Amino acid sequence: MNETIDINSKQLWERAKSIYLSTLQSDDEKSQVERYFSMITSVTRKANVFVILTSNAYAADFLKIQYASKFKSCLNLAGGENDLDIEFKFDETARPAIVMPEIQQINVSRNETRAERISTFSSTMPLNEEYTFDEFVRGPSNSWALAAAQGVVANPGKSGYNPLFIHGGTGLGKTHLMQAIGNELHKKNPHLAICYLTAETFLNEYVNALKNTQAESFRNRYRNIDLLMVDDVQFLQKGKQFQEEFFNTFNALQQAHKQIVMTSDVAPKNLPLIEERLISRFEGGMVQEIESPNYETRLAILKKKSEGMTPQIPDNALEYIADNIKSHVRAMEGALRKVSIFRSMDPATHLSNEILSRLLNDFIEKEKNFKKLTIEEIQSAVAKKYSVDIGQILSMERTQSLVTPRQLAMYIARKFTTKGLPEIAELFKKTHSTVIHGVKSIEKRLDVEEELKASLEEVLSELGCKLSDKIY
């Protein structure tokens, strides 16, 4: 490439990114934007045009269509000239290379090293080098998932850890843990064939392979790697033929004792459109949930994330964020970025609670719904709507007049609070599996029953929140 990286322009871009991320409120949008940000490999500037280079063509097209005008505005807010323009381009040379064993090895010399017998396989999505076990803050909400991830690194491909399925709400660290596995195994053995991608990307590549009559090549690539890491497995629900292909890939890798790691917003049994045989495979290894972190863990995460920020974020600001934003880590990070931007504009200002309250009002307003919702309040609101007693909701009766309000209350508790399954199950006097079944049942019905959706909206309104407040 002829352009050279302009350090000042790169700093301007990083500032513009922070400004843009601080404006996002939707968890889904934040997750999507950060995923595509991870595919940006470098930033160059040519005259008055910012050129953003990505590791694949799909990301370049998507960013251009969805975000070009928004990013341009953020560049202006970050201090860039008004006539700055922005372009997204795919740089073939920037595509990350991941090694993959050759499918056929004939007459291999005894003196030939493994490195000489491998070809390159271009992964769609690069690993983030910052996602390591050292950077992952351990707490009661994630300790079991962390231990399982470290178990994979110690025993890759072993039946007890294969596959590893990590699930939990948005922004709790699932992707961090998964990529930490890839980074650690790559460090231990640089010649391992490691591939990280989302289920959605896997689907897109499969569709393109069919369109270009390259299905066999696609299969050979993905069935001959050492570690397959698939993010957002819930996207597998999009097509039966695609599930068939993934099932066969999964079997081929597992039979060859290759490691598979997956993440999802929900547990395998809560993926209603996934075939039972795939669900069975997902549950055949280790399934671990990450829940929302407690105060101590939240504060530790914020201290870790704020390291190196200039000017330094004072402890009282970190404590304020940890105390007021509890839903998930990504919301905390968004609040921290906003404080950092404000701090950089006026380092002398004392960040009092009053200033922090005004500065983070948009985050705190959303959190209020999460904070005030208790299981008891949910049960009471649902009982009122359906003209039943709370005792009946907690009973073992299975008449339809009670099953629907009971399951709806479980659904709201699971989707609109930060309570974990153990607490929800205990307060409903039911087992984990009963709560999961109830949530899954309501999810299916909401897709086809407008009356039930209207009832849900009515109950949520009574509780002071709305559908868009759903945590995951």
3-state secondary structure string across 350-396: CCCHHHHHHHCHHHHHHHHHHHHCCHHHHHHHHHHHHCCCHHHHHCC
168 strand-pairing partners: 290
Span 159-171, average pLDDT = 86
pLDDT (tens digit per residue) in 189-222: 888 888 998 887 888 788 888 888 888 888 888 8
pLDDT at 150: 94
pLDDT (tens digit per residue) in 414-459: 888 867 777 788 889 998 778 888 998 998 898 889 899 999 988 9
Q: What tokens does 437 get?
A: 């079944």
pLDDT class for 25, splitting at 50, 70, 90? low
Cβ-count burial of 73 within 10 angstroms (0-12 exposed, 13-18 middle, 19+ buried)? Answer: middle
Half-sphere exposure of 54 (CA within 13 A, CB side): 20
pLDDT at 1: 36
Residue 114 has pLDDT above 90, yes or no: no
Rounded Cα gap, residues 162 and 175, in angstroms: 17
Residue 118 has pLDDT above 50, yes or no: no
pLDDT class for 81, splitting at 50, 70, 90? confident
The SS3 of residue 345 is helix
What are the CA-CA distances from residue 3 to residues 42, 43, 85, 86, 166 (Å)? 11, 10, 16, 14, 41
Bridge-based pairing of strands 164-168 and 286-290 is: parallel
Highest mean pLDDT among 20-24, 33-37, 93-97, 281-285: 281-285
Residue 56 has pLDDT above 80, yes or no: no
Residue 103 has pLDDT above 70, yes or no: no
Span 137-143, average pLDDT = 86
Rounded Cα gap, residues 258 and 227, in angstroms: 6
Residue 120 has pLDDT above 50, yes or no: no
pLDDT at 316: 93
Sorted by where each starts, the structural domains of the chain and their CATH numbers stand as 7-93 (3.30.300.180), 97-101+115-290 (3.40.50.300), 295-370 (1.10.8.60), 373-469 (1.10.1750.10)
pLDDT at 442: 93
Half-sphere exposure of 32 (CA within 13 A, CB side): 12
pLDDT (tens digit per residue) in 212-264: 888 888 888 888 889 999 988 877 766 678 888 899 999 999 999 999 999 98
Q: What tokens does 306 get?
A: 């704020």
Asked, as a colleague might, if the bond just before 405 is cis with ω within 30 of 0, I would say no
pLDDT (tens digit per residue) in 370-397: 556 788 889 989 999 999 999 999 999 9
Span 21-39, average pLDDT = 68
Asked, as a colleague might, if the bond just before 311 is cis with ω within 30 of 0, I would say yes
Contacts of 237 (CB under 8 A, 6+ apart): 271, 272, 273, 274
Residue 58 has pLDDT above 90, yes or no: no
